[in-house]
Amino acid sequence: EPEVTQTPSHQVTQMGQEVILRCVPISNHLYFYWYRQILGQKVEFLVSFYNNEISEKSEIFDDQFSVERPDGSNFTLKIRSTKLEDSAMYFCASSVQGQEPQHFGDGTRLSIL
């Protein structure tokens, strides 16, 4: 069964550094998402992306965050200047259309020191 793949599985970064999290959505999916989950808490929506532009974003997704689809397969989340509170598990998800099941990748655990 096709999967959403995310790399790296674990990223350790110094506070203030830039970090890029990478995702390869399922190939025939058109909608892409980033979520985060702070340890022990609920999953939080960050951003949705369709047709090479952001469809929706949450209040968490401030100017420090950006997303990009640099080629036909990758979907990236960049955090420009990381803060301690950015430490979380970041999940990428994709769906065929906007009102279809969203399939999650295994996540990237981001640890900010």
List residues binding another protein (CB under 8 A): 31, 33, 35, 41-45, 48, 50, 55-56, 58, 91, 95, 98-107
Shorter beta-carbon distance to another protein: residue 75 or 91:
91
Shorter beta-carbon distance to another protein: residue 24 or 106:
106
What's the closest the beta carbon of residue 56 comes to another protein, in angstroms? Answer: 4
DSSP 3-state assignment of 80?
coil
In sequence order, what are the residues at sequence separation of 6 or more whose Cβ sits closer than 8 angstroms to the Cβ of residue 76? 20, 21, 22, 23, 67, 68, 69, 70
Shorter beta-carbon distance to another protein: residue 82 or 95:
95
What's the CA gap between 57 and 62, in Å, rounded? 9
For residue 45, the one-letter residue type is F
What's the closest the beta carbon of residue 45 comes to another protein, in angstroms? Answer: 5
Shorter beta-carbon distance to another protein: residue 17 or 97:
97
In sequence order, what are the residues at sequence separation of 6 or more whose Cβ sits closer than 8 angstroms to the Cβ of residue 1? none
What's the closest the beta carbon of residue 29 comes to another protein, in angstroms? Answer: 12
Structure tokens at 41: 């808490």
What's the closest the beta carbon of residue 81 comes to another protein, in angstroms? Answer: 25
